[in-house]
């Protein structure tokens, strides 16, 4: 997040507004995975935004910022279904 802020020439925590939070969310939607080359998953985006919201809440709590630009934002958990393969005991033994 901080490297991304530097590309916008924002170097102070007080310079973060809801506009930057929304732009960061849009950036994450377009961001490619370094491993797969595809867009990062919705769960990863959700985790990034939730962690950012928690960090800004902490800064508010300790008095570093006066208002959290992410305090009113709600991030719903993505409904992505991940197909899981469950191995039998014999298949595990073969591994």
Per-residue pLDDT of the chain in tens (95 residues, 90 and over written 9): 888 888 888 888 888 888 888 899 899 988 888 888 888 888 888 898 999 999 999 999 998 888 888 877 776 666 766 677 888 888 888 87
Q: What is the domain count for the chain?
A: 1
The whole-angstrom separation of Cα 49 and Cα 41 is 13
**Interacting residues of 64 by C-beta distance below 8 A, sequence separation 6+:** 13
Domain extent at residue 32: 2-94
């Amino acid at each position: 997040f901080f490297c991304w802020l530097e590309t916008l020439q924002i170097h102070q925590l007080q310079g973060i507004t809801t506009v930057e939070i929304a732009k960061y969310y849009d950036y994450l939607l377009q961001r490619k995975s370094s491993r797969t080359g595809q867009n990062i998953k919705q769960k990863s985006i959700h985790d990034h935004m939730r962690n950012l919201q928690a960090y800004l809440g902490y800064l508010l709590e300790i008095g570093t910022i006066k208002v959290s630009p992410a305090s009113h934002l709600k991030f719903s958990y993505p409904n992505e279904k991940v197909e899981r393969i469950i191995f039998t005991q014999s298949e595990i033994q073969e591994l």
